[in-house]
Structure 1
Amino acid sequence: MSIRKRTWLTGKGEEKTAWVVDYVDTKGTRRLKTFAKKKDADQFAATAKVEVKEGVHVADSASATVKQAGSFWMASAQAAGLERSTINQYRQHLDLHIYPLIGDTLLSKLTVPAVRDFEDRLREAGRSSAMVRKVLVSLGSLLADAQERGLVVRNAVREKSRARTKGKERRQERRHKGKLKVGVDIPTREEIKAIVGALDGRWRPLLLTAIFAGLRASELRGMRWRDVDLEKRELHVRQRADRFNDIGRPKSEAGERTVPIPPMVVNTLKEWKLGYSRPIIGRDEDGKAIREDAKPDHLVFANGSGNVESLGNIINRGLVPVQVAAGVSVATDKQDEDGNTVMAAKYTGMHALRHFYASWCINRPQDGGLGLPPKVVQERLGHSSIVITMDVYGHLFPRGDDADEMAAAEKSLLG
């Protein structure tokens, strides 16, 4: 490997100077790389020498663009059998965020400073901290795939120190969102009582299970009768239905779990199994539906055709109307034909019921809860880490230093 100075005259007679690094790469191919400054040539030569020795050097001319590497990465993801929703998310990250800003950039030029600049440009373009973090994770996976293909030496995203930044971004995001609040994000006990009292028809078993088992909407939609043990009063979460109604594994290893259910849910599911939950296979002479006997592989909360129920139907036909009927609602700026204010459901997503279940597990028995320890709450919710549970719900756990307990401790100490 050598560095030599090159001098030449332009067409106008001006003298130009450059520094050329002459070396042989790991494949035995002679490479020439030109720099305007000697210090840049020296720096490249020192790095390339080590990379060639280690057998990991990739010349610029042998490198691919981010867009080309993205195509290879998507092909790998599809071949690995990832869920359709995951594939779509990766594709959106590429098409909407990565390609427009750095799609034509060579992988060999994607250094840590370049990644930091890309991160800054994403924020300047209005992307949220959460979206920036997700896009960088996708870019890191793309570069990891490119590394395995020999298209790039280093993964600049992985090299970039993410521990401190990631924690900072998460803290900023939590500060922006604030803690979950009872009566705002989490239904109160009185609101849940009102909702339970207003439940009827085909949505009663599903929403009762959501309230008292805390399953994710995707887990409810993918549950089969073989996953329901009415004798032992427990549910087994073994699969879920994604937003495309495709059945797959739970979100994580911890998502595969067993959750106990109270008598009300057991009795409701027994009635549901005998009646409405079975697919309609015909009608008798009076037009009454003839239903197929429930089988282990049948979905518990299937639609009328026996297929996965859509999340939109569950929310718009189940969760929203029952809240309005129960008076768990808020006023809108709209009026009906009679001039009365139109009321809307207070909680618009199924996750509000999951939040209530978490608070029910956490609250002390004297407050109407189960008083479970954090690790058990994590297992019931199917969180992959206790950190997630405590980050989201840690402020709901009793502190053990309220006024009554402080008074009792003082009396015990001083007599």
Structure 2
Amino acid sequence: MPRPKGGRRRFGSVRQLPSGRWQVRYRDPETNQLRSAEQTYATKTDAEVALTQIEADITRGQWFDPDGGKVKLRDYADAWLRERKLEESTRERYAIALRLHVQPMLGGRALGDITPARVRSWRAGLLSAGVGEPTAVKAYQMLRAIMNTAVDDGLIQRNPCRIKGADTYDVPERPVLTVPEVYAVADAIHPRWRALVLLAAFTTLRFGELAALRRRDIDLEARALWVRRNQAELNNGKLYDKAPKSRAGFRPVAFPAEIVPDLVEHLAHFAGRGPDGHLFLGTRGGQLRRSNFRDDWAAARVKAGVSPEAHFHDLRHTGNTLASQTGASTRELMVRMGHSTARAALIYQHMTSDRDRAIADRMGEAARKALGRPESGSSGT
């Protein structure tokens, strides 16, 4: 490139060291401090070519700080987690994954030293040590997110997490209960939990969504309930309500007339008092927890003769399967389930409550046929 008069360069400089090699110096574009290139060159021409390349990278916005890659993953990951806006339970889960699965093997390494080969070795080490595939997948996803941020921050040029298929795993097929099995468990369980079992199956709400319901969230006349929050529990036992992950999570869900009498009975005997009283409470009047329900579920499952592999969450899968079998479209299922995707949220805005109630009505009709019961009235009072 041409130089201004006097032979001085417009960008940076090169100089010969006592060793005879040539050094490149230039202004850091972020700090404006004078810095030297990481390596020296055998000839002045080589140094000038290198300086021209650095200038071009800065002009194109492709320059990155060579010292940035020297930051330890441990320090960078701690800052990454601290600066992210996360729910308490998600922050706790990430912190545990970092401490147990990422930091022991990679925490002491500099960001620039974490190569694709080292990531593959790290992941293989987790699996060979007996870490479950779902846990390994989540740890990999988190590491990839951390390294993506490091790329955005200009500390490294490319994310080393590039293992094909490492961010997914095959979910084993879960049991699907029949309608008679759902009612068998509901009949076998303590009356306090009967409505919980039936709502889980016929609204497909998650446990946390059910535990967070208040009296004012349920409308027996309209045969619908509103999902406005999700209960979460930290490792120290603290319970708190958090907002759904996306707008799609805020949703009304219709339920069939067949379970209205069960809900009326539940509201009369087991729900908390007042509009803000919890719909489901523990046996001692406290908030519903998985721990104070799990044993009752297991005992009822055995008494009802249901597969010991069936978890409470499988009622959600059961309800979704039943809704699909009764004609609900994929879009309607996404809305009903509260899928946290932009597409599901957009569809939710245009779906009518009448259509959702029709799905619930068909679910109820299928339940009546499976149980051999006569058609019931549509009134919820």
TM-score by length of 1: 0.66
Which residue in 1 is equivalent to 2:125?
Answer: 124
2:311 paired with 1:321: no
Q: Give the RMSD, CA atoms, in angstroms.
A: 3.6
Partner-residue secondary structure (3-state), 1:242: strand
Which residue in 2 is equivalent to 1:238?
Answer: 228
CA distance 1:121–1:144, shift in 2 (3 Å): closer
CA distance 1:246–1:7, shift in 2 (3 Å): same
2:103 paired with 1:99: yes
Alignment match of 1:206 (pick from 186, 196, 201): 196
Asked if 2 retains the 8 angstrom alpha-carbon contact of 1:66 and 1:104, the reply is: yes
Asked if 2 retains the 8 angstrom alpha-carbon contact of 1:218 and 1:240, the reply is: yes
1:125-176 CA-to-partner distances (Å, cap 9, x unmatched) read 315554344223322433455567x57254625xx667xx24x864xx33xx
Question: Deviation at 1:261?
Answer: 0.8
CA distance 1:346–1:89, shift in 2 (3 Å): closer
Asked if 2 retains the 8 angstrom alpha-carbon contact of 1:20 and 1:33, the reply is: no
2:49 paired with 1:28: no
User: In the aligned structure 2, how far is the partner of 1:66 from the partner of 1:44?
Assistant: 29
CA distance 1:5–1:89, shift in 2 (3 Å): farther
Asked if 2 retains the 8 angstrom alpha-carbon contact of 1:19 and 1:34, the reply is: no
2:259 paired with 1:265: yes
CA distance 1:219–1:135, shift in 2 (3 Å): same
User: In the aligned structure 2, how far is the partner of 1:37 from the partner of 1:301?
Assistant: 77
Question: Deviation at 1:202?
Answer: 0.6
Aligned AA for 1:105?
Answer: R
User: In the aligned structure 2, how far is the partner of 1:135 from the partner of 1:346?
Assistant: 26
From the two aligned structures, give the one with the greater strand fraction. 1
CA distance 1:322–1:35, shift in 2 (3 Å): farther
1:225-263 CA-to-partner distances (Å, cap 9, x unmatched) read 121111100011110111332210123332221111112
Partner-residue secondary structure (3-state), 2:288: coil
Partner-residue secondary structure (3-state), 1:212: helix
Alignment match of 1:247 (pick from 241, 249, 261): 241
1:344-374 CA-to-partner distances (Å, cap 9, x unmatched) read x442x211111110111111xxxxxx22111
Question: Deviation at 1:221?
Answer: 0.9
User: In the aligned structure 2, how far is the partner of 1:198 from the partner of 1:230?
Assistant: 25
User: In the aligned structure 2, how far is the partner of 1:67 from the partner of 1:46?
Assistant: 35
Which residue in 2 is equivalent to 1:86?
Answer: 90
Q: How many matched pairs?
A: 321
Which runs of 5 or more residues in structure 1 are unaligned? 9-16, 279-293, 330-344, 364-369, 389-415
User: In the aligned structure 2, how far is the partner of 1:206 from the partner of 1:303?
Assistant: 12
Question: Deviation at 1:50?
Answer: 4.1
1:279-299 CA-to-partner distances (Å, cap 9, x unmatched) read xxxxxxxxxxxxxxx222221
CA distance 1:36–1:306, shift in 2 (3 Å): farther
CA distance 1:258–1:63, shift in 2 (3 Å): same
User: In the aligned structure 2, how far is the partner of 1:215 from the partner of 1:307?
Assistant: 21
Question: Deviation at 1:108?
Answer: 4.1
Asked if 2 retains the 8 angstrom alpha-carbon contact of 1:2 and 1:22, the reply is: yes
CA distance 1:269–1:140, shift in 2 (3 Å): same
Aligned AA for 1:261?
Answer: F
Which residue in 1 is equivalent to 2:331?
Answer: 375
Aligned AA for 2:35?
Answer: R
User: In the aligned structure 2, how far is the partner of 1:197 from the partner of 1:43?
Assistant: 81
Aligned AA for 1:377?
Answer: L
User: In the aligned structure 1, how far is the partner of 2:125 from the partner of 2:282?
Assistant: 44
User: In the aligned structure 1, how far is the partner of 2:214 from the partner of 2:262?
Assistant: 16
Partner-residue secondary structure (3-state), 1:269: helix
User: In the aligned structure 2, how far is the partner of 1:189 from the partner of 1:43?
Assistant: 75
1:359-390 CA-to-partner distances (Å, cap 9, x unmatched) read 11111xxxxxx2211111121112235999xx
Asked if 1 retains the 8 angstrom alpha-carbon contact of 2:141 and 2:167, the reply is: no
User: In the aligned structure 1, how far is the partner of 2:212 from the partner of 2:67?
Assistant: 48
User: In the aligned structure 2, how far is the partner of 1:70 from the partner of 1:312?
Assistant: 32
Asked if 2 retains the 8 angstrom alpha-carbon contact of 1:234 and 1:260, the reply is: yes
Partner-residue secondary structure (3-state), 2:233: coil
CA distance 1:232–1:30, shift in 2 (3 Å): same
User: In the aligned structure 1, how far is the partner of 2:291 from the partner of 2:147?
Assistant: 36
Alignment match of 2:340 (pick from 384, 408, 411): 384
User: In the aligned structure 1, how far is the partner of 2:140 from the partner of 2:90?
Assistant: 15
2:146 paired with 1:142: yes
Which runs of 5 or more residues in structure 2 are unaligned? 1-11, 345-381
Which residue in 1 is equivalent to 2:5?
Answer: none
TM-score by length of 2: 0.71
CA distance 1:45–1:102, shift in 2 (3 Å): farther
2:60 paired with 1:59: no
Partner-residue secondary structure (3-state), 2:39: strand
Question: Deviation at 1:197?
Answer: 3.4
User: In the aligned structure 1, how far is the partner of 2:137 from the partner of 2:49?
Assistant: 31
Partner-residue secondary structure (3-state), 1:303: coil
Which residue in 2 is equivalent to 1:287?
Answer: none
